[in-house]
Amino acid sequence: MTLVINACDDDFLEVDSPNLTDQAIWADPALAEAFVVGLYTSIRIADKEPGHNGDDTPAGFGRGFHWALWSSVTDETIFSNDDQTYLVQRGQMTPSNFGFMSAAWGRGYRAIREVNLALENIDTEDSPFTGEDREQLVGELHFIRAYRYFDLLKGFGSIPIMGDRVTSLDDDDFSGLFEKRNIEEVVSYIESELDQAIAVLPEDNGARATVGAAMALKARLLLYAASPLYTNNVDDPQKWQKAADAAEAVINMNKYSLVTGLDADPSENYRKLFVQRRATNEDIFMRFYFETGTEGRSGRSIPIERMNGPNGSGGWGGNCPMQNFVDDFEMSNGLDIDDPGSGYDDQDPYVDRDPRFYASVIFNGGMTRDRPYESFLPGGADSPDGNEPWNTSPTGYLMRKFMREDITLNDWNDMGTTPWRYMRYAEVLLNYAEAQNEASGPVQSVYDAINAIRNRAGMPDLPPGLAKDQMRERIQNERRIELAFEEHRYFDVRRWRIAMDVENQPARRVSITRADNGSLSFEYNQEALSGKQFSPQHYWFPIPLDEVTASNGLLLQNPGY
């Protein structure tokens, strides 16, 4: 068993002892705490997940940094090397062929069982922990269990709840473990778990759970619970108001704020936030990575710069933004590119855009470390005419967000150390604005929350006098831009029930041709990936066939699979 602690001060605690007994672990405070901290990560379930090559660290919550990001099963990016993302993009998921999507089932329930095991042993008379130490560890366990259930909820919808039960292969009776609970029951259970965590977690706790992290996760949970997918399209203002109140409670902590001091240029300030290797005042909950662990083990994620770099410099293309995503960045004057007064020119498309565009996307002519990116044909260094054409971006763009630019693509000793930000304050503001707008319309506090995010990015205020549905559209686009590639888009378009529209749009690319005189012409109608398709059953993941079979058919498959 390997247990890893990642903390803000770069400390690692690793215990590698395959012969440890349960009794030995729970009698020793250091081992017991290491077991709890190890639950912040999880085992590899599917191909190309963290830990697949033995040189990187295990997965945390969600997917985080690893090869194909969640963005590459949405309308944000296309993964240049497939890695079982194309079957999701093409609507070909089945209970026996789901890429990395349905791996959340096995990972989630394994982690929940381990949390239950820890709770069973820590909260006893024989536990080596007492008083506040015990309370805090129990609070962390409730937080972790809530997070795992939330991952299951947003992927599968109706799911079984294990309660505090610890099962083993010796159990003769698994009754009740295959009964799926309705969404309201699951939400209520997760909310209860978070309330227990909020009551005892500290305000500061390094890279581990804090009261702020639990409150922010509760706000996210309640936002989902009020959304159309989770309410069967029944609009319930009370649910929206409850979600708004939960987000406002995080705001009223006065602990978090938007980062503005990393650079005077709003674009650079935004870009630098995502390569900071320390927590900022915007960060609520993070996953840290380091150059090395103990005994020579790696504490890294993947070499993300190499994975997502340009083929002309030896990069592998990676997660490449679609033209669909690029088109949703406003002009710097706040107007959509389709607005006749915006000033947008599709033959000079990268001028005067939202500053976050330049921080998020590498485009033809944009600097990538020490040179301009060249996706044009013929002869572009990063086009199919360049080095390693099999690693060319299929869309004409590369991802810039998260990429450190102070290292080269050959600097293997320093890659993969950028933290993954699970929750940050900008999301809390967006959660509040969305929920409050749905509860009471575009009141001033909704404007204030969205404008704070836009102003930090160097964008103008939203126009006054928006109707509720107009504000909804603006908030949805603001989430698309501000939270790009951060594992929100896949679930956002589903909970809003707009996936049948946006995910059935062709996956578009840009094709740039350079004439002999050096002039460029842009064409946007080619597909980066053929066959992009979404059907109603894809609002939820398929439950893995192996799980249904193991239950002797008692576990009901999600509809449509």
Alpha helices in 54-102 (DSSP H): 86-89
Domains and their CATH numbers in the chain: 1-57+100-201 (1.25.40.890), 64-96+303-405+498-561 (no CATH)
- Calpha distance 312→382 (Å, rounded): 4
- Residue carrying the six token digits 């908030």: 475
Largest CA-CA distance found in the chain, in angstroms, rounded? 81
508 forms beta bridges with 527
State how far Cα 87 lies from the chain centre.
Answer: 20
Instruction: Decide: helix, strand or coil at residue 197.
Output: helix
Distances (CA, A) of 242 to 223, 273, 494: 8, 30, 21
Length of the chain: 561
Handedness of CA 32, 35, 39, 40 (dihedral sign): positive
Q: Residue 559: CA atoms inside 13 Å, Cβ hemisphere, count?
A: 6
- Calpha distance 196→141 (Å, rounded): 10
Q: Residue 66: CA atoms inside 13 Å, Cβ hemisphere, count?
A: 26
pLDDT tens for the chain, 561 residues: list them: 333 333 333 333 344 445 567 778 888 899 999 999 999 998 777 766 665 555 567 788 998 888 899 999 999 999 999 999 999 999 999 999 998 889 899 999 999 999 999 999 997 777 888 888 999 999 999 999 999 999 999 999 999 999 999 987 777 778 789 999 999 999 999 999 999 999 999 999 999 999 999 999 999 999 999 999 999 999 999 999 999 999 999 999 999 999 999 999 999 999 999 999 999 999 999 999 877 654 444 577 888 999 999 999 999 999 999 999 999 999 999 999 999 999 999 999 999 999 999 999 999 999 988 899 999 999 999 999 999 999 999 999 999 999 999 888 887 777 888 999 999 999 999 999 999 999 999 999 999 999 999 999 999 999 999 999 999 999 999 999 999 999 999 999 999 999 999 999 999 999 999 999 999 999 999 999 999 999 999 999 999 999 999 999 999 999 999
Residue 528 DSSP code: E
Q: Which two tokens stand for residue 80?
A: 């240049």
Instruction: Decide: helix, strand or coil at residue 73.
Output: helix
Instruction: Please name the helix (run of DSSP H) or strand (run of DSSP E) that holds residue 319, with its range, or none.
Output: strand 319-321
Instruction: Decide: helix, strand or coil at residue 50.
Output: coil
Long-range pairs for 131-134 at CB < 8 Å and ≥24 separation? none
- Closest by Cα among 220, 241, 228 to 440: 241
Instruction: Please name the helix (run of DSSP H) or strand (run of DSSP E) that holds residue 521, with its range, or none.
Output: strand 520-523
**Contact 446/472 with Cβ under 8 angstroms?**
no
361 forms beta bridges with 399
Q: Which two tokens stand for residue 131?
A: 């008083």
- Calpha distance 204→125 (Å, rounded): 28
The dihedrals phi and psi of 507, each to the nearest 5 degrees, come to -80, 100
CB neighbour list of residue 530: distance below 8 Å, 6 or more residues apart? none
